[in-house]
Amino acid sequence: MAKVTHTTKSDSAALSKAIRMCVESGEVDLGERITMKKAMLGQGKLVVLASNAPAGKVTDIHRYAALSSMPVVEFVGTSMELGSICGKPFPVSMMMVNEVGNSTILDMAKKEKA
């Protein structure tokens, strides 16, 4: 089963920093289509969802992540905020983390699950 992590506003700053570090030093894929495709194939290490991601897609991504035991982190902010954190001028509703780089985002997901 997928590890689903809900973050609160107090965790939001730390998660934002971890996402930014992951984008800068690791390897991520931004967008619904590529995230859904990689989740179906079991590729990637972690999925990050914005709070206003489409409900149908969120249900599907949870199902696919559960099949491959992939953690899912639900970001408190909107897709515009997630896009801004990623350094992009457009909304990002979902992102797939392929390599974490210098980020501690996987440790945060595992810690919050426990």
Full-model pTM: 0.88
> What's the distance, CA 50 to chain centroid?
8
In angstroms, what CA-CA distances link 46 with 29, 73, 89, 103?
11, 8, 23, 12
Name every residue whose Cβ is closer than 8 Å to that of residue 20 and which is 6 or more positions away in sequence.
85, 86, 87
Alpha-carbon distance of 78 to 82, in angstroms, equals 6
pLDDT single digits (tens) 29-81: 999 999 999 999 999 999 999 999 999 999 999 999 999 999 999 999 899 99
Structural domains of the chain ordered from first start: 4-113 (3.30.1330.30)
- Per DSSP, the three-state class of 51 is coil
Residue 110 pLDDT grade (very low, low, confident, very high; cuts 50, 70, 90): confident
